[in-house]
Amino acid sequence: MKPDFDAARTWAQARIAATPLMPDPHWHGWVADVFPSDFYAALRAALPDDAAYTPLSADWDPAGDYAARRGLVIDDAADALMDADRAGFWRELRTRTLGRAFGENLLRLAESPVAARFRAEGTALGSWRTSLLLVRDRGGPGVLPHTSDPPNVLTLLFYLPPDDANRAQGTALYAPRDPDFRCWGGRHHGREAFTHAWTAPFLPNSLFWFVKDDMSFHGVEPAPRGDAVRDILLFYIKRTG
Instruction: Say if residues 234 and 218 touch (Cβ distance below 8 Å).
Output: no
148: left (phi over 0), alpha (psi -120 to 50) or beta: left
Q: Is the pLDDT of residue 146 over 90?
A: yes
In which band, very low, low, confident or very high, does the pLDDT at 109 lie, cut at 50, 70 and 90?
very high
Indicate whether 89 belongs to any domain. yes
Query: What is the Cα–Cα distance from 113 to 117, expressed in whole angstroms?
Result: 6
pTM of the model: 0.94
Count of Cβ atoms closer than 10 Å to residue 100 Cβ = 12
Q: Is the pLDDT of residue 128 over 70?
A: yes
Indicate whether 162 belongs to any domain. yes
> Per-residue pLDDT tens for 176-187?
999 999 998 878
pLDDT at residue 67, as a whole number: 61
Q: Is the pLDDT of residue 121 over 60?
A: yes
Indicate whether 66 belongs to any domain. no
pLDDT at residue 68, as a whole number: 63
pLDDT: is 152 or 1 the higher one? 152
Residue 110 belongs to what domain range?
5-58+75-239
Indicate whether 154 belongs to any domain. yes
Reported residue count of the chain is 241
Instruction: Say if residues 196 and 174 touch (Cβ distance below 8 Å).
Output: yes
Instruction: Say if residues 153 and 114 touch (Cβ distance below 8 Å).
Output: yes
Indicate whether 69 belongs to any domain. no
Indicate whether 67 belongs to any domain. no
pLDDT at residue 70, as a whole number: 87
Indicate whether 143 belongs to any domain. yes
Percent share of the chain, pLDDT over 90: 80
**Which has the minimum average pLDDT: 66-75, 194-203, 223-232?**
223-232
Percent share of the chain, pLDDT over 70: 93
Query: What is the Cα–Cα distance from 88 to 85, expressed in whole angstroms?
Result: 5
205: left (phi over 0), alpha (psi -120 to 50) or beta: left
Query: What is the Cα–Cα distance from 213 to 94, expressed in whole angstroms?
Result: 25
Per the structure, the count of domains in the chain is 1
Indicate whether 70 belongs to any domain. no
| CATH number of the domain enclosing 197 | 2.60.120.620
φ, ψ of residue 157 to 5 degrees: the values are -120, 105
List, in sequence order, every residue forming a beta bridge with 232; answer none if it has no partner: 135, 159
Query: What is the Cα–Cα distance from 217 to 236, expressed in whole angstroms?
Result: 16
Q: Is the pLDDT of residue 211 over 80?
A: yes
> Per-residue pLDDT tens for 64-89?
666 667 899 999 999 888 999 999 99
DSSP state, 204?
T
**Which has the minimum average pLDDT: 3-7, 96-100, 120-124?**
120-124
